[in-house]
Amino acid sequence: GDSVTQMEGPVTLSEEAFLTINCTYTATGYPSLFWYVQYPGEGLQLLLKATKADDKGSNKGFEATYRKETTSFHLEKGSVQVSDSAVYFCALSDLYNFNKFYFGSGTKLNVKP
């Protein structure tokens, strides 16, 4: 079945550090891949997505590239800010069986000033 594995947290970084959060997936069909962010006390918000291999999703300085050969969708940001502190979830849905998302367990990011 389909599944997502992401690195465990928490990840603690200093402001302006480089961020990578690893995400790998298992899918039997044609997955679309997503990163969602959950700020404290708020709901899940879409951060970025990619719907086919080699696509790069980007938003707010975050980027992730859909790598079919390594079944990965790692999230990166060149310079994190304190305001990026949140929980990040990697997710997939199948292009043709799209009625559900499969989420990773989430990675908490703490950015210190």
3-state helix vs strand vs coil in the chain, percent to 5: 5, 55, 45
Pairing of strands 86-94, 62-65: unpaired
The least CB distance from residue 69 to another protein, in Å, is: 20
Choose between 17 and 94: whose C-beta lies nearer to another protein: 94
Cα dihedral 21→50→84→2 (10° resolution): -50
How many whole angstroms separate alpha carbon 13 and alpha carbon 36?
19
Nearer to another protein, 17 or 101 (CB): 101
Q: What is the three-class DSSP state of 91?
A: strand
Q: Which of 17, 58 has the CB closer to another protein?
A: 58
Nearer to another protein, 8 or 16 (CB): 8
CB of 95 to another protein, least distance (A): 4
CB of residue 97 vs another protein: minimum separation in angstroms?
A: 8
- How far are the Cα atoms of 20, 23, 48, 52 from residue 68, in angstroms, in the given order? 18, 12, 17, 9
Shortest Cβ 1–another protein spacing (Å):
11
Binding residues vs another protein (CB under 8 A): 4, 30, 32, 34, 36, 42-46, 49, 51, 89, 91, 93-106
